[in-house]
Amino acid sequence: MKVVKFGGSSMADAGQYRKVRDILMADPERKVVVVSAAGKRYSGDHKLTDLLYLCYAHIQYGVDCSTIFDAIANRYIDIRNELGLALPIEVDLELLKHRIDAKEISQEELVSRGEYLSAKLMADYLGFQFIDAADWVKFNMDGTVNEEESYKALQSQVILGYGAVIPGFYGAMPDGTIHTFSRGGSDITGALAAAALDADVYENWTDVSGFLMADPRIVDDPQAIPEVTYDELRELSYSGAQVLHEDSIFPVREKNIPVNIRNTNDPAAPGTMIQEKFVGDHDPDRFITGITGKKDFSIISLSKRGMSNQVGVLRKVLTVLERHGISVDYVPNGIDNVSVVLPTSSIEKELYTIMAEIKKEAQPDTLDVHHQIAVVAAVGRKMAFRPGISGKIFAALGESGINIRMINQGPDELNIIFGVDNKDFKEAIRVLYNSFVTK
Ligand code: ADP
Ligand code: ASP
Ligand code: MG
């Protein structure tokens, strides 16, 4: 049995619904379907989930959101009409509008309605059972998922051999209120469903033919990556390749269920296979699996003469950050200096307090902060066995005049991470891609 998840672009309009049905009809094993809210139909279009967040922002400030709401409602009514379905979706929409007007709805419940409506329509179109995520994805009070309870609840609701459609992105708190995952979280719902039902494979259908070696919005027509390990996937998605939500790997990995990323618009393409390890080598000459990155980091660096002989300087810095609830992404260090690299958004509000506390508690000789840093990661399980990769990376960047602000390599040699100025971000990715892929 296969659990299949379709992302926003695969649910964007009636034409996409037809493609989804064809994909399901082509393989009778594809029985349990997890869907996202309708995504963009063309570039410049709006994602339904974004409109729902916008709608909530309006009502919060007491501004009427009817125009936005109508746009949302019409997307679903159009899909229903174009597919010739009889589902009275207006009933759900009117109830929702009523609760919005009465200010009776939480933000999380409102933004979850995109997937709810998608799933209802898709279930009707396919003639499958609709299973509400609120009836089986059970969150603990701390926002983690109670996997055991959730799996049991799903198992008791799925009628095996029959088809089921489940909305992604949300579940219920112990008191029954709706709670959502972070953005892109329908991937996690799909992974949970696959784990609950011991699926043979978790297919994740999107608008690209699998993981590509670099973001297609930065590099023209990047090569696809046929095989990725779970470890590499964590690195790739954490460091910026948001094809699959980084947390969706835990449930499937526990049960050793492979993930297959596929393209709804090109179902014949094999996509990317993600699993624990691979026997044999798909392409022995390729030792970088992918290149990713994110912008807008800050580097706090401090130096202190004789730091290498003093215990506790780094601990003091980390304690200050911990006190403010800030987690650190990377900690590159030298003999008498150390830096912490973190997203600017996480320190922005309290920066001056934090700097003052570090100064007081760690008593460094110098203390600086640099903003507008992009972090770029070269990820690959085979890098550990190849000498000279970092040399090649830094030579390529140097030749292109890109200044490197920070270097960090993980102990498992699964990644080489470096910081550049935000303005050099895209160029750094292109330079790396070209030096490793086309030569
Ligand atoms: P879905 O709506 O199906 O969940 P997402 O938008 O979450 O899809 O993820 C797919 C998108 O991820 C692609 O359209 C692409 O623009 C982007 N992307 C970023 N980096 C990569 C990469 N390395 N490989 C493939 N796609 C990437
Ligand atoms: N619709 C949600 C979002 O836009 C969840 C998802 O698509 O995975 O974040
Ligand atoms: Mg996604």
Which structure tokens are listed for 193?
């469903």
Which range (49-63, 82-96, 249-263, 371-385) has the least confidence? Answer: 371-385
Give just the sign of the alpha carbon dihedral 21, 23, 29, 33. Answer: negative
Distance in angstroms (rounded) separating the CA atoms of residues 60 and 114: 19
pLDDT at 344 over 90: yes
pLDDT at 256 over 70: yes
What is 290-436's CATH superfamily? VC0802-like (3.30.2130.10)
Short-list 147, 144, 115, 134, CA closest to 175: 134
pLDDT at position 121 over 90: yes
Q: What separation in Å is there between the alpha carbon of 48 and the centre of ligand 3?
A: 13
Q: Are 415 and 375 in contact (CB under 8 A)?
A: no
Strands of 277-425 (E only): list them.
Answer: 290-303, 337-343, 366-379, 404-409, 415-421
Whether the predicted pLDDT of 334 surpasses 60: yes
% of the chain beyond a pLDDT of 90: 84
Count of other CB atoms within 10 angstroms of residue 12: 25
Is pLDDT above 80 for 47? yes
Average per-residue pLDDT in the chain?
A: 94
Question: Please, which residues have CB within 8 angstroms of residue 56's CB and are 6 or more apart in sequence?
Answer: 65, 107, 110, 111
Using alpha carbons, select from 226, 343, 222, 227 the residue that is nearest to residue 291.
222
Report residues whose beta carbon is within 6 angstroms of any ligand 2 atom.
7-8, 36-37, 47, 49, 114, 168-169, 183-187
φ, ψ for residue 32 (rounded to 5)?
-115, 120
Residue 409: per-residue pLDDT: 83
**Least trusted range by pLDDT, from 8-17, 236-245, 267-276:** 236-245
Work out the average pLDDT over 337-364: 95
Structure confidence at residue 326 as a pLDDT band (50, 70, 90) = very high
| Position 439 pLDDT exceeds 60 | no
pLDDT at 3 over 70: yes
What was the pLDDT predicted at 386? Answer: 77
For position 253, what pLDDT does the model report?
96
State whether the beta carbon of 207 lies less than 6 angstroms from ligand 1: yes
Which of ligand 1's atoms lies nearest the C-alpha of 240? 20
What is the CATH number that goes with domain 2-207? 3.40.1160.10
Residue (of 170, 207, 210) closest to 187 by Cα position: 170
pLDDT of residue 282: 67
Run of H or E including 119: helix 107-126
pLDDT band at residue 345 using 50, 70 and 90 as cut-offs: very high
Closest residue by Cα to atom 2, ligand 2, is 184
What number is the average pLDDT over the span 345-355? 95
CA distances from 383 to 130, 272, 294, 315 (A): 45, 20, 21, 31
Query: For the ranges 28-42, 186-200, 388-402, which has the lowest average pLDDT?
Result: 388-402
Whether residue 58 has pLDDT greater than 70? yes
Which residues are within 5 Å of ligand 3 (an ion), measured at CB?
7, 184
- Show me where the domains of the chain are located: 2-207, 290-436
b/e per residue 283-305 (b: at least 16 CB within 10 A):
eeebbbbbbbbbbebbbbbbbbe
Quote the CA–CA distance of 254 and 108 in Å, as a whole number: 28
Q: Residue 141's pLDDT is what?
A: 96
Q: Is 316 exposed, middle or buried (0-12, 13-18, 19+ CB in 10 A)?
A: middle
pLDDT tens per residue, range 270-294: 999 999 999 877 677 778 899 999 9
- Vertex 18, ends 15 and 23: CA angle to 5°? 130
- The tens digit of pLDDT for each residue in 61-111 reads 999 999 999 999 999 999 999 999 999 999 999 999 999 999 999 999 999
Average confidence (pLDDT) over 259-277: 96
Residue 137, burial from CB neighbour count under 10 angstroms (0-12, 13-18, 19+): buried
User: Which pLDDT band, with edges at 50, 70 and 90, does 131 fall under?
Assistant: very high
How much distance in Å is there from the Cα of 154 to the middle of ligand 2?
21
* pLDDT tens digits, one per residue of 303-318: 999 887 777 889 999 9
Share of the chain above pLDDT 70, in %: 99
Residue 360 in this model has a pLDDT that exceeds 70: yes
Tell me how far CA of residue 415 lies from CA of 14, 131, 282, 297, in angstroms: 41, 40, 20, 18
**How confident is the model over 185-204, as pLDDT tens digits?**
999 999 999 999 999 999 99
Interstrand relation of 415-421 and 404-409 (parallel, antiparallel or unpaired): antiparallel
- What's the pLDDT score for residue 388? 83
Nearest to 377 by CA among 259, 232, 220: 232
The residue whose C-alpha atom lies closest to atom 5 belonging to ligand 2 is 184
pLDDT reported for residue 438 = 67
